[in-house]
Amino acid sequence: MRIEILKSTIVDLNPVSKGDVVETTERTGQLLVQMGKAKEAPVSQTVVITSDVEETPVKKKPPSKRKPKANGNSQPGV
């Protein structure tokens, strides 16, 4: 069954996003339609294959520009 995804979800152990059109079993497709996460898609649309998931790189936080305290006390004048 060909379905169009209405809400981001998982189909056949693959993450899919809103607007994707995927091919799945009749049972899975009907379940997602009943849950409101998909609708039946027209046959003429291109199918999105989701077996390769791109990982987004994690950005490291830049080092702090603050200077360390000389005496290590957090309260002034102690």
Predicted confidence at residue 18, as pLDDT, reads 94
Domain residue spans of the chain: 2-40
CB under 8 Å to 10, separation ≥6 — which residues?
Answer: 16
Q: Is the pTM of this model over 0.75?
A: no
For the stretch 10-64, pLDDT in tens is 999 999 999 999 999 999 999 999 999 999 988 765 666 665 555 666 666 677 6
CB under 8 Å to 76, separation ≥6 — which residues?
Answer: none
Taking the C-alpha atoms of residue 44 and residue 46, their distance in angstroms, rounded to an integer, is 7
More confident residue, 3 or 74: 3
Predicted confidence at residue 65, as pLDDT, reads 73
Predicted confidence at residue 35, as pLDDT, reads 95
